[in-house]
Structure 1
Amino acid sequence: MDSPPEALPRRTLLKGAVALGGVALLPACGSDDSSAGAIVLEDQRGKKLSLDGPAQRIVTLPMPAASIMIAVDQTAEHLVGIHDASWAAAKQSILGTMFPQVLEVPHDVGTQDFAPNVEGILALEPDIVVQWASQGDEIIQPLENADLKVLGVNYGTIEDVGTWFSMFSTALGQPERGRAMATRLDADRLAAEAVAAKQTGRGPRVLYFLRFSEGMEVQGAGTFNEEYVRLVGAENVSSEVEGLAKVDLEQVLDWDPDVIVLGNFDAAMPGDIYGDRRWRDVAAVKDKRVYRAPLGGYRWDPPSHESPLMWTWLSQIAFPDGTDGGLRDKIVDDYKYFYGHTPTQSEIDTILWKDANGGSADYDQFSA
C-alpha cells in the first residue's frame, strides 16, 4: 500500500462559514472564459495558469487525484500519466474494474517521494500536471522549468476536496459538474449530521489506525479522521495526541477503545488483531468490534468524493441498529453518479471487505 504525503493538517473540516457548495464557486479556483475559448485556473498556491481549451491530456502525481479526476470526468480517457501509488490503488480496488483502461496508463511519472520524472512526463505531452503544492518547491520547479503547466494542490480536508472538484472540472471544461459534486457533498454532510443528532447516549470510543502492520500510527487531534469520528457522534480516543502519531501497544491498552478501525494504507485485517493474544483485554477485541475500512474507487478513510460513504459506514459501525443505514443503496447511487457504473452486490461485498470483516460484531447488517 502507498502512504499519504504527510500527516493531515490541523484544520477544521469546513472552515468558518465556507460551505462546500461555495468552495466549488470560488472564482480563485477557476473560471472558464468561454468568450475567448480559453480556461483560466488558479491553483492552491494562488498561481494562475491558462489553457487554450479543456485539458485533453492530464498527468497526476498526488494519490487521490487520479480517482477524483475520473469521478469528475466520468472517464479515464484524459489521464495519460499517474503516480505508481495511484496505479496500485486502482489495481487493488474496484476502480480498475470500472475503468480497466486506467491500468494501461503509464505510472512511472514520479518517485515514491513524488519527485517528478520530468523527461517521462514531457514525453506524455500533458496539457496540465497535477502536483503537490504542500511538499515544497523542489518537486514543482523542475516541472515548471520544463515549461509544463502545473496545478499545485493541497490536501487534508473536505474543503480541499471541494476545491479539487472546482479546479478539475474547470480544467476539463465542465465547471457545472464540479459545482454539482460540491453541492452533493455538502448535502451528504448535512445528512450525516442529522443522523448523528438522533443518536442517544455516549458514543463509542473509536481508534483509527492509519497504519498497523509495520508500526502503529494513529490520527489524533485536528485530523480529518478525528473530524468524521466526531461527525457521526463517536469519540476519537487518540485525540490527546496531535496529528499523525506513532503509538505502542501499551498506549492502546491504556486507551482501551470500544471500536478499532484499520485503514487502507497497509495489509492489516481484523483477524491479525483477534489472533494476537496481546490484544485480548482490549474492549474492541473482546467485543469483536475491529473492522477494516472499506476500499472503493478510492480509500474511504482519507478525504475524497467517497468520504460520505465512510461516514454512513462508520455511523452504522458505531451505532448498529440491524440495518445498513442505506449504505448499499448509497454505494449504488454514488457509483452511478461518480463513475457511471452500477456495482453488483458481489462488488459491494468486496468494497466492504465482507469476508475480512465477517467475524466482527454486527457486520451482518451490511449483507445484501
Structure 2
Amino acid sequence: MSSHLKAFAALAMSVSLLLPAALHAENSVVDHRGKTITFQKPPERVVTIVRSAPIIYRAVDEKADNIAGMNKDSLTRYFTKGIYAEMLPEMAKLNASAAQDGFVPNVEAILAQKPDAVIQWNHDEKLIEPLERVGLTVVAWRCCTEQDRLDYISITGAMTGRNDRAQAILKAQSDTLKALGDKVSKLDKSTLPTVLHIDKVAGQIQVIANGSQDLSLSGVTNPAADKTGEWWRTIDFEQLLVWNPDIIVIPAYATDLNPKDMFDNPLFASLKAVKEKRVYKQPVFARTPDAPEIFLTSEWLAAVAHGADYAPDFKKQILDVYQLIYGSKLTDAQLKSILESDSNAPADKYVELFG
C-alpha cells in the first residue's frame, strides 16, 4: 500500500492522529500557521474569504446559519447557478462583500458583519495582517495539497463543534480511496494510460501540469507534469502531438469547452484520444478541487481509464455521498447534470459506464 493510502487508512481510524488540525479543546484548533485559536463556543458569525470555504462550512455544520459573509467569487462561481445553487439556495442570500480583489480582504465590510472568525488563506501575510490588526480572529488555511484539504474539513469540525460530521465525511473519502487503491495497485505500472487535462484550446493550448489531484490514485499518468510546481503550462500543438495522450479530460470549470468541440475540430483529428473518442468532460463534483466530494473524481477517472469495475454502482455512490455531505436527495436530472452526461454523450463508452 502506498504511503498516501496508508495515510487515508490511518484517517479512518483516528482523524485527530492524522491531521495537524488536531483538537486541543472542545472549540480549539491549530490552523495552518500552527496558531492555536480557542473559541468559548462554536462561532456564530463566520466570514469566509477562501472561495470554497462556505461549501465546506455548510457541509460540516449542516446549515448556513453561522456563515455571516463570503467572497463575491464564491457567490458567482458556486451559488448563482448549478448544483450548489439548486441544493443550497440559502447560500445565495449571504453577504458577499468579504473580498475586494481575489483574496484581498475588504476589512470595512468584514467588520460590519461583526464576525467571530474569518477564514483566510495563509500564503501571503498581507492577506491576514490587515484583519488581525483590527482585532479580528483569523483561521488560516494553506493551499492546496490533498492533506490540506483533509485539514479544511477537520478544522471546520473543530470550529463548529461537529467533529462527528467531519469524521463521517473524511471516512467516506478514506474508505472510497482505499478500495480504489486496492484495485489500482494491481495494474501494470509500465502500461498506465496517459491523461492530459486541457482547459483552453484557443490560440495556444493550456494544460494542467502540476495540479493537486493525485492521478496515481486513478492509475494514470500526466505527460505534462514537471518539477516547476506550476499548476498550468501553455503549449503549442506540436508539443501536444509529441505527448499524444491516451485520454484527454476537460476540467469541470472549463464551461466553454466540451468533448464535441475537440471531436469536431480538424486540428485535433490526428490525436489518439480524439480518434478513439476518449475525450471527457470532468463531472461537476470536480468544479472546485476543495469540495468535500472531490474524491469521487479519482474513482470517476479510474473508471474512464480502466473500466466500470473501478467505480461500481457509481451513480448510487454519488447519491449517497451528496446525501451524507449536503443532506440533499438528488433528482435523476441533477445526477445526469453532475455526470455531464449530455456533454459526454459522444465520448467512448460514457453512456455504458455512467448512463
- Whether these two folds match at TM > 0.5 is yes
CA contact 2:16–2:23 (8 Å) conserved in 1: no
1:332 has 2:302 as partner: no
TM-score (norm 2): 0.89
Shift of 1:97: 0.8
Structure 2 vs 1, CA of residues 55 and 257 (structure 1 numbering), >3 Å: closer, same or farther? same
1:66 has 2:54 as partner: yes
Structure 2 vs 1, CA of residues 58 and 365 (structure 1 numbering), >3 Å: closer, same or farther? farther
Question: Which residue of the other structure, out of 144, 147, 150, is the alignment partner of 2:138?
Answer: 150
1:190 alignment partner in structure 2 = 178
SS in 1 for 2:42: coil
Q: How does 1:150-299 map to 2 (within 5 A)?
A: 150-199=138-187, 202-209=191-198, 211-212=200-201, 216-220=205-209, 223-225=211-213, 227=214, 229-240=215-226, 242-243=228-229, 244=231, 245-267=233-255, 268-296=257-285, 299=287
* Number of residue pairs the alignment of both structures matches: 347
CA contact 1:24–1:182 (8 Å) conserved in 2: no
Matches of 2:303 and 2:172, distance apart in 1: 21
Shift of 1:274: 1.9
Structure 2 vs 1, CA of residues 24 and 303 (structure 1 numbering), >3 Å: closer, same or farther? farther
Question: Which residue of the other structure, out of 323, 338, 344, is the alignment partner of 2:331?
Answer: 344
1:20 alignment partner in structure 2 = 11
| 313-322 or 230-239, larger mean C-alpha shift | 313-322
Question: Which residue of the other structure, out of 27, 33, 37, is the alignment partner of 2:25?
Answer: 33
1:87 has 2:75 as partner: yes
Partner amino acid, structure 1, of 2:126: E
2:305 alignment partner in structure 1 = 318
Matches of 2:136 and 2:18, distance apart in 1: 25
Matches of 1:185 and 1:261, distance apart in 2: 22
Gaps of 5+ in 1: 1-11
Q: Which has the higher contact order (CA 8 A, sep 6+)?
A: 1
Question: Over aligned residue pairs, what C-alpha RMSD do you find?
Answer: 2.6
Gaps of 5+ in 2: none
Matches of 2:294 and 2:313, distance apart in 1: 15
Structure 2 vs 1, CA of residues 78 and 256 (structure 1 numbering), >3 Å: closer, same or farther? same
1:3 alignment partner in structure 2 = none
Shift of 1:284: 0.8
1:359 alignment partner in structure 2 = 346
TM-score (norm 1): 0.86
Structure 2 vs 1, CA of residues 321 and 173 (structure 1 numbering), >3 Å: closer, same or farther? closer
Report percent identity of matched pairs.
Answer: 28
Q: How does 1:115-134 map to 2 (within 5 A)?
A: 115-134=104-123
CA contact 1:264–1:295 (8 Å) conserved in 2: yes
Shift of 1:338: 0.4
Runs of 4+ in structure 1 over 6 Å off: none
Matches of 1:92 and 1:213, distance apart in 2: 26
Partner amino acid, structure 1, of 2:281: R
SS in 1 for 2:43: coil
Shift of 1:212: 5.0
Structure 2 vs 1, CA of residues 106 and 344 (structure 1 numbering), >3 Å: closer, same or farther? same
